Amino acid sequence: MRKPFLLSIALYLCTSIIAQPHADKEQTKRIDEIFARYEAANPGCQFSISKNDEIIYSKVWGKADLENDVPLTTSSLIEAGSVSKQFTAAAILLLEQQGKLSLEDDIRKYLPEIKDYSTVIRIKHLIHHTSGLKDWGSVAGLTGWPRGTKAYNNNDALEIISHQKTLNNIPGEEFIYSNSNYNLLAIIVQRTSGISLAEFTTQYIFIPAGMTHTQWRDNYKRVVPNRSVAYEKKSTGYETDMPNEDVYGNGGLLTTTEDLLKWNSFYFSGKFGNPSLVSKQIALDAFNNGVTNYYGAGLFIQTQNGHKVIRHSGATGSYRCYLAYYPEQKLSIAWLSNTSQYDTARYNVVSAVENLLAPRTPGFRPAKKEADAVVQLTAAQIKPLEGWYRQNKSGAAMLIQVKGDELQADGRKLVPVNDTRFTGGNFTFIFDKGKGMITTNEDKDTIVYTVAPPANLSANTIKDYLGKYYSEETETAMTLIQKENTLQVWVNSNNIFTLRPMYKDGFAISNIGGTLYFERDAKGNITGMKISIARARNVAFEKVK
């Protein structure tokens, strides 16, 4: 009786070894080559791959701490940036399952500090980035104290958000990525569960999923063993670039690539929630017009080379992260880096690996663009389309110019489909001659522009703009001064913005991007100005008399 038993054990062990997944040798060699740019003496990264829930590749390159010559390991903690959002969203979904909230709830039920905008903002709008709430960090940048200069926490974020008098958009109308959404979700978790997001996710996600190295940076001063230092590459060498703040939920997850793979395995195998919440995690919502929004619960639901992929990227300070899952291949890819050195590199290592492991499917072709059928137009035919076009919702502008026989939008070539319809990149431009234009993209986002008269800046007109402006939304003042023939916005000695004229009363903010435009009363007197920057539209400033 003993021999058959031992034989069966031997056969089981042999089968287990043979069945143990492993990366193809040629693929492993190619991946190693792809990551060769990370040198042993410099900041580096972790990179891990799993197939069928088993890790088939996991390596590290570079240093975790340059000052103390500490190498990165697979257990070194690196911050995940916005990849953290899916864990905040997962906590909300679990609270809904526990009966403590509903995604349809008005957020003011839990956040009475938020203004009543005469339209309901629901928890689902926060999750899908359709709330219209301005990004608090973008607003903070207008105070002279942008993120990174103060140790902000979630209560600070709530304070800034609660001062905003207007929304970027009607809730459910547009996708505008805003960290405010996920800081507020973190607060909702605390107010409904009675414990912090950090405690809640540790108890209900990290421990059940076996994510033994994962925690939140909810106190940046806390000593965290094995935490890597984030570095930015300067012309003089590397400098530390750490997120010295306590805001979290939008980001702030300290983790490893192997722990991130455990999370993918945990929830995609149906183990998160009872019953499984995976369908809600990747469920899509629709905009008010019925068009699908491809942002799930802290996850982008997209396609890559013809394959469905569920993913998110992240960046905080100089930490970088990417986590993806290819459900058809049961393939997970996780990357964490403690340097932003290669942000502008033309070659993306993660994309190269994705193309290697999930190449184009047979017969896959990118969507055919309308520009495949074009017409030839003369300079005289397109000349009437020239000029400044002002975006109605934010005051942002686009310059349409003729160069030779070519129409350009902010220097980008537009290809004519007919005399009023053009394509450029992923956008379609439709002109209403002399009145305006609309642009649409492949996601069917539509932006409306009107023709705006060009700026006429002279010694006389520039004086109209000078003076002090105060904003209740930022609780700060700005002073507009004249320097030679240009306008400057003085916030404080460290924040002086130069204005570049576009259309009448509209200026581009050269230093930080965005638009500043002035408002006038019926008599033509300037009464105030509004600033629109990335993720925050129309922050209002009133002219001080």
Spatial contact of 121 and 114, defined as CB atoms under 8 Å apart: yes
Q: What is the pLDDT of residue 493?
A: 82
Q: Is the peptide bond between 275 and the residue preceding it cis, with omega within 30 degrees of 0? A: yes
Q: How far is CA 196 from CA 18, 102, 126, 245, 273, in A?
A: 45, 19, 18, 17, 19
pLDDT per residue over 329-365, tens digit each?
A: 999 999 999 999 999 999 999 999 999 999 998 877 7
Beta-strand relationship, 307-316 and 319-326: antiparallel
Q: What is the pLDDT of residue 362?
A: 84
Spatial contact of 64 and 229, defined as CB atoms under 8 Å apart: yes
If we measure between CA atoms, which residue out of 443, 442, 133, 393 comes closest to residue 284? 443
3-state SS track over 507-540: EEECCCCCEEEEEECCCCCEEEEEEEECCEEEEE
Instruction: State whether residue 166 is helix, strand or coil.
Output: coil
Q: What is the pLDDT of residue 305?
A: 94
If we measure between CA atoms, which residue out of 226, 200, 220, 180 comes closest to residue 85? 180
Q: What is the pLDDT of residue 457?
A: 84
H or E stretch including 86? Answer: helix 85-97
Q: What is the pLDDT of residue 518?
A: 97
Non-local CB neighbours of 506 within 8 Å, separated by 6+ positions: 388, 390, 395, 397, 452, 455, 515, 516, 517, 518
Q: What is the pLDDT of residue 24?
A: 84
Mean pLDDT for the chain overall = 92
If we measure between CA atoms, which residue out of 113, 93, 106, 95 comes closest to residue 192? 95
Q: In what order do the strands lie in the sheet with 45-51?
A: 54-61, 45-51, 331-337, 319-326, 307-316, 300-304
Domains located in the chain, CATH noted: 79-133+168-357 (3.40.710.10), 370-452 (2.40.128), 459-543 (2.40.128.50)
If we measure between CA atoms, which residue out of 522, 525, 469, 464 comes closest to residue 497? 469
54: its two tokens: 């088993």
- Cross-strand partners of 261: none
pTM of the model: 0.92
Q: What is the pLDDT of residue 117?
A: 97
- The long-range contacts involving 52-60, CB below 8 angstroms and separated by at least 24 positions, are 52/21, 52/330, 53/265, 53/269, 53/330, 54/20, 54/21, 55/258, 55/261, 56/21, 56/22, 56/23, 57/23, 57/28, 57/31, 58/257, 58/258, 59/32, 59/35
| Burial track 60-96 (b if 16+ CB lie within 10 A, e otherwise) | bbbbbbbeeeeebeeebbbbbbbbbbbbbbbbbbbbb
CB-side neighbour CA atoms (13 Å) of 160: 29
pLDDT per residue over 444-454, tens digit each?
A: 678 999 999 99
Q: Average pLDDT per run of 10 along the chain, which is 545 residues long?
A: 38 33 83 97 98 97 98 98 98 98 98 98 98 97 92 98 98 96 98 98 98 98 98 97 98 98 97 97 95 96 96 98 97 98 95 95 66 78 96 95 94 94 93 94 83 88 94 96 91 90 95 93 96 96 95
**Amino acid identity, residue 328?**
E
Main-chain phi, psi angles of 9, to 5 degrees: -60, -45
Question: Exposed, middle or buried, 225 (CB in 10 Å: 0-12/13-18/19+)?
Answer: exposed
Q: What is the pLDDT of residue 181?
A: 98
Instruction: State whether residue 293 is helix, strand or coil.
Output: strand
pLDDT per residue over 477-511, tens digit each?
A: 999 999 888 899 999 888 899 999 999 999 999 88
If we measure between CA atoms, which residue out of 67, 64, 60, 43 comes closest to residue 228? 64
